[in-house]
Structure formats: C-alpha cells, structure tokens
Amino acid sequence: MDPIKQFESEVQQNIAGLGKDADLQALSRIWIREVSRHKWAYNFSWLGRPAIQFPNDAWAMQEIIWKNKPDLIIETGIAHGGSIIFSASMLALLDMCDAIGTNQSFNPVQSRRKVIGIDIDIRAHNRKAIEQHPMASRIEMVQGSSIAPEVIQQVKEMARGYEKVLVCLDSNHTHDHVLAELEGYASLVSVGSYCVVFDTIVEDMPKELFLDRPWGPGDNPKTAVWEYLKSHPEFEIDKSIQDKLQITVAPDGFLKRIS
Ligand SMILES: C[S@@+](CC[C@H](N)C(=O)[O-])C[C@H]1O[C@@H](n2cnc3c(N)ncnc32)[C@H](O)[C@@H]1O
C-alpha cells in the first residue's frame, strides 16, 4: 500500500476508535468541566490577540480552512479579535500558497479573501488593536446584533460574489439566538464547507457553571443545532472532528454542508 494512504488509513482507524471509546469521552468531558472552572479558554492568543478558544479547536479550524480554501469566513462574536485574526492569517497563508503554486508575486496586503466579523459590542481598545494588526486588511467588522435583520442583510450583501464560504458562530450562546444565527447565516455556507457552532459543550456541562449566564444545559448552541438540523438536511454533523479532538467546545457543532 502507498505509505501516505496507509498512514491516512491508520489515522481514520484511530479516529473511529476514539469515537467508540465512551470512557475516554466521559473523561474528556470531566477534564473540560474542571478546566472550565479556571476559565482555561481565556489563556491563549493568536498573533498577539486573545482568542477565547480551546487550542485544539483552532487546530481543527486550520484543517477545515486548508481543505476548503474559503474565500470568505463569516464569524459572529469578535471579543478581543483573536479568532478573526486567526482566520485572516489562515487566508493570508492560502493567498501565499496560491501565489507559490501559480508562480506569481504575493501581495501580503491586497486580497480578495476576507473575514467578516460581527459583534454587538466592539470595544474601542479591541477595535483599535484589530485595525492596527498586520492582518487587518483581510478583516471587515460589523457592529450590531448578529440576529438583527439589517445586520444579516448587510452581511449577505457583503458576501455576494464569494464562492467558498465558511461560517463560525460564537456570540450569544442561547438556543434562540444560535437558532436565529443558523437561520440567518448557514445558507451562505458553500457545499463541502462548514458552519462551526462553538460552545455546544454547554449541553454536556453542569448547570452551576453557567449561573451568571442566560444559557445552560437545555438552552444552548447544541440544542439549537439539533433543532436546526430537523429541517435542514443539507447539513450533517461531522462527528469525525469531535472524535479526533476529544477536547473541544464544539461537540455536534462542526456542521458540514453536504448539498
Ligand atoms: C465568546 S466571545 C467571542 C470570542 C471570539 N470568537 C474568540 O474566539 O476570541 C462572545 C462575543 O459575542 C458578542 N455578542 C454577544 N451577544 C451578541 C449578539 N447578539 N450579536 C453579536 N455579538 C454578540 C460579545 O460582545 C462577545 O464579544
């Protein structure tokens, strides 16, 4: 067997094994529960900007971006900007690889590829740091509620003409809000690409972790995903991603557009 194919096949077997290992999955949930008490997700940054993410999930995003080579990434929830800077840096790498592949010069600033970030409250210090970041030329920010009809309309207009679209939802984590975001933005995802819904893990955590939040078990991004999928067969949960990661805030949140 071709050694590359053999390695890939071994990896697929590893992932299938992880998907069947209920004990390890339970242990992973316990680990996430305990580390969340320390606000672990706040400890990381990407190219200098805090990203409120688990590092494993960023790695999965890199794999999704490399496979799909999006020209547009739409993200709800900007916060300090780490996740939109991450996406913009991935788009810059895609541009660079395209230039190498076609033997053309690489313009680090000009790109058709874009990230649209949406947040209801872009704090002045965060906006300034994002606008001054070397990745800023690939980023457009929209301030407003991600489920406001005028914001959805504005983003749809900005998305016109783009062909390979990836969507990431990471703003308000209540069921109703995420369901409205899915209804608003998931249709923009191109076939083969993903709508990634973060913090679906809330469903698997004890309610005392969210006493100061409007979301919790029974009312969170995972319940919204389940509801959305009842009437949207064009998406399916890509379980292989959560199986490979184990440590992820997005179990059942990697939605692949299949038609
Ligand atoms: C978890 S943080 C986003 C983290 C960011 N994606 C990252 O990885 O660093 C959630 C963000 O959602 C924003 N947010 C809350 N409600 C929102 C809404 N209705 N529309 C848009 N953004 C909202 C908050 O202002 C906050 O910045």
Q: CB within 8 A of 16, min separation 6: which ones?
A: 243
| Pocket test residue of 118, 123, 171 for ligand 1, highest count of atoms within 8 A of CB | 171
| Residue in the structure block whose two tokens are 């109703």 | 176
Distance of CA 83 from the midpoint of ligand 1 (Å): 11
Between 85-94, 98-107, 151-160, 190-199, the lowest mean confidence (pLDDT) is in 98-107
| Pocket test residue of 119, 154, 178 for ligand 1, highest count of atoms within 8 A of CB | 119
Distance of CA 144 from the midpoint of ligand 1 (Å): 11
Residue bearing the CA closest to ligand 1, atom 14: 171
Residue bearing the CA closest to ligand 1, atom 22: 119
| DSSP output for the chain | --HHHHHHHHHHHHHHHHHH-HHHHHHHHHHHHHHHTTTGGGG-EETTEE--S-HHHHHHHHHHHHHH--SEEEEE--TTSHHHHHHHHHHHHHHHHHHHHHT----SS--S-EEEEEES---HHHHHHHHTSTTGGGEEEEES-TTSHHHHHHHHHHHTT--SEEEEE-S--SHHHHHHHHHHHGGGSPTT-EEEETTGGGGGS-GGGGTTSS-BTTBSHHHHHHHHHHT-TTEEE-HHHHHHHSS-S-TT-EEEE--
**Two tokens at 50?**
């805090």
150 pLDDT band, cuts 50/70/90, is: very high
| Residue-wise pLDDT tens digits, 78-87 | 999 999 999 9
Q: What does the longest C-alpha to C-alpha distance in the chain come to?
A: 57
Per-residue pLDDT, averaged over 120-136, amounts to: 98
Whether the Cβ atoms of residue 164 and residue 71 lie closer than 8 Å to each other: yes
Between 5-19, 56-70, 76-90, 96-110, the lowest mean confidence (pLDDT) is in 96-110
| Residue-wise pLDDT tens digits, 152-185 | 999 999 999 999 999 999 999 999 999 999 999 9
**Two tokens at 142?**
């929209």
Mean pLDDT, the chain, integer: 98
Looking at this protein, which amino acid is placed at residue 105? S
Distance of CA 63 from the midpoint of ligand 1 (Å): 23
Per-residue pLDDT, averaged over 72-92, amounts to: 98
Question: What's the pLDDT score for residue 15?
Answer: 98
Question: What's the pLDDT score for residue 1?
Answer: 86
Which ligand 1 atom sits closest to the C-alpha of 168?
6
Percent of the chain past pLDDT 70, that is, above it, reads: 100
205 pLDDT band, cuts 50/70/90, is: very high
Distance of CA 146 from the midpoint of ligand 1 (Å): 9
Question: What's the pLDDT score for residue 29?
Answer: 98
pLDDT reading at 188 higher than 90: yes
Per-residue pLDDT, averaged over 234-247, amounts to: 98
Pocket of ligand 1 (CB under 6 A): 51-53, 76-80, 82-83, 118-121, 145-146, 170-172
Question: What's the pLDDT score for residue 43?
Answer: 98
What pTM, to 2 d.p., does this model score?
0.98
Distance of CA 77 from the midpoint of ligand 1 (Å): 3
Per-residue pLDDT, averaged over 118-130, amounts to: 98
Pairing outcome for strands 165-169 and 139-143 = unpaired
